[in-house]
């Protein structure tokens, strides 16, 4: 499975999780798009030309609040995981601990959830929160 982490999640976390499970490929957004690419641009590119589609992992809650970006995401038949508010403000060490702790839960959600779904990765709890099917955003 391919997982794509956006710029609001540390690149180091993506690199670390890339070694977690041999069947997974974890990639960072800037490996595929220019660093200043707006969310709408890279989301549209993924929607139109990526095969297979990656599971998206983000730390940017604005994607779900921006009407245009939400509409693009609605049309991508893939899972979207959003780290809770405040994750980006944690120290690198706490981000790493939380990311590794939640990774098995993220992988399990991808494996067991057929319909593309938006999940929130909580800041302190160990259980993913289901927000909605991706196509109903």
Q: Give the CA-trace dihedral at 65, 63, 13, 29, to 10 degrees.
A: -170
In this predicted model, what pLDDT tens digit does every residue of 94-122 receive, in sequence order?
A: 999 999 999 999 999 999 999 999 999 99
pTM for the predicted model, two decimal places: 0.95
Mapped onto helix, strand or coil, the DSSP state of residue 7 is coil
Q: Give the CA-trace dihedral at 25, 31, 37, 42, to 10 degrees.
A: -30
In this predicted model, what pLDDT tens digit does every residue of 46-96 receive, in sequence order?
A: 999 999 999 999 999 999 999 999 999 999 999 999 999 888 889 999 999
Q: How confident is the model at residue 129 (pLDDT cuts 50, 70, 90)?
A: very high
């Amino acid at each position: 499975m391919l997982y794509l982490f956006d710029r609001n999640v540390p690149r180091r976390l993506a690199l670390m999780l890339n070694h977690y499970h041999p069947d997974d490929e974890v990639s960072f957004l800037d490996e595929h798009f220019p660093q200043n690419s707006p969310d709408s641009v890279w989301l549209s590119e993924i929607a139109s030309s990526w095969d297979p589609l990656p599971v998206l992992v983000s730390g940017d809650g604005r994607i779900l609040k921006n009407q245009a970006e939400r509409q693009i995401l609605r049309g991508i038949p893939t899972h979207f995981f959003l780290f809770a508010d405040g994750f980006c403000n944690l120290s690198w060490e706490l981000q790493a601990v939380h990311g590794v702790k939640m990774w098995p839960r993220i992988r399990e959600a991808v494996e067991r959830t057929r319909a593309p779904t938006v999940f929130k990765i909580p800041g302190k709890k160990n259980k993913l929160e289901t927000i909605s099917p991706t196509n109903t955003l």
